[in-house]
Amino acid sequence: MSTVDQLVARTLGITEDRLTADLAYQSVREWDSLGHVALIVALEQEYGVEIGDDLMLELRTLGAVRAFADGLADPAAAAGPTAPAPRTGASDVTPLDGTVHRGLESVTFDQSAITLIDGAEGTLEYRGYSIHDLAEHASFEEVAHLLVHGHLPDAAALEVFAKQLRAARTLPAPVLDLVRSLAHAHPMEALRTCVSALGAFGARRAAGTDESYTEALEAGIELIARIPMIVAAHHAFRSGREPLWPREDAGHAEAFLTVLLGEKPTPAAVRVIDKGFVVHADHGSNASAFTARVAIGCRADMTAALTAAIAAFSGSVHGGAAERVIGLVDEVGTPENAEAHVAALRGRGEPVMGFGHRVYRTEDPRVRHLRASVVELSEERGDRTGLDILDAVATAMRPWQRHGVAANVDLYAGLSYRLLGLPDDLAVALFVVGRAPGWVAQALEQHANNVLIRPLLAYAGPRGLAYPAGAAR
């Protein structure tokens, strides 16, 4: 095996027999986005070169990597990156241009007026408004109205919307009983189950009729109000207490924290949670939003769409990552250990949680606001240990930032919740509370201009097999 093949196998953590001609980025689980960056860094270190973004995009097949290494060893023989050899074996359905976009990478499936993300520049806007302005100046209710209705509300419209949310907070008694019965379950399991149950207590439609846009909008607003109550009531029950319901005029963040903590929250806690909800409110066509669109695109109702989104979001490589990031603080222990810990993880080919994003090539624009919340809470409590550890990990990860592996939204989020005295397993559920308006907006946009989302698969299995004589029936 050549030196470069050994490097590829070692970096990706795969065996020699898997170095086939059609090995490419995203063709195997190990060669994911973080694995690709690890491979680029390993090539730079092995050959003493600097690989820019354009070349990094070309080095996405084993053939291209081999040609690159051969060119460095013998510039006269360099032919540049090459395409992988065609896949051998029987094939049934094949794309017209022969290209398979695994994970639908780089595929634009529709147009949207909700959220702008520029991964190269690190830009995030909700309906044209910068996340930086919204995080610093807007309340969650304003942002939810912006996403769901398409524009920022004036004072009168904001009051109407806030009243709708307040009126919808009360959970149907059977659903509250279900929340109580699931006190033993993980918060995300309880949330997924109870949101689904809400669908049995919504408005009744005539048999065979689909949910109208107006009905979907009304259901969406109810879900924005009720999802936080499910999360908070579940935490109360599993903590051995009855939920303390909020004042009727309490804002969204204050109401949520009142039920969650069983006491009136501090102004600092309300500010942190409100800002966190704003920052998390939407993020374009991520996996969970896409799932909501697929569901409502099939003419499932809004509750079904958000149940599907929650199920997708719970996965460890999507929202579930938020719960795993907080473990960094415990694993590292002290800021002085950060560099060695990062080196050990990368040496084993393991990701550093809280870094890297499928879209952003620079720091996630949401990070600064979540870090600011952690700074505020750390100073209020007189303990910067967790903050200093995460900052030290971020410093140790700087060499990777040049290749797009920068801090993401998960890095500081979990620590802010821990500083509020909340258990780590609530991190993902709190993310969902903030994301609910975005899912509703995405589902409504799909509903308004619907097309059934039905991608294709390129068949790569055998064909025309004869059924064996004497097979068991």
321-352: string of b/e by CB count within 10 Å (b at 16+)? bbbbbbebbeebeebebbeebbeebbeeeebb
Instruction: Tell me how long the chain is.
Output: 473
Positions marked active-site: 357, 410
Among the residues of 84-139, which ranges form H helices? 131-137
- Which contacts (CB < 8 Å, 24+ apart) does range 332-338 have? 332/389, 332/392, 332/393, 333/389, 334/389, 335/388, 335/389, 335/391, 335/392, 336/392, 338/389, 338/392, 338/393, 338/395, 338/396
Other CB atoms within a 10 A radius of the CB of residue 284 amount to 15
C-alpha radius of gyration, the chain, whole number: 25
Task: Tell me the three state secondary structure of residue 80.
Answer: coil
Three-state SS for 117? strand
Quick one: DSSP state of residue 466?
P
What tokens appear for 45 in the block? 């270190």
User: Residue 268: beta bridge partners?
Assistant: none
Task: Say what the alpha-carbon torsion angle 292, 295, 297, 299 is, to the nearest 10 degrees.
Answer: -130
Max CA pair span of the chain = 77
Which whole-number Å values give the CA distances from 129 to 64, 145, 147, 151, in the listed order? 41, 13, 11, 10
Run of H or E including 62:
helix 62-73
Phi/psi class of residue 150: alpha, beta or left (left: φ > 0; alpha: ψ in -120 to 50)? Answer: left
Q: Nearest CA to 105 among 21, 22, 12, 26?
A: 26
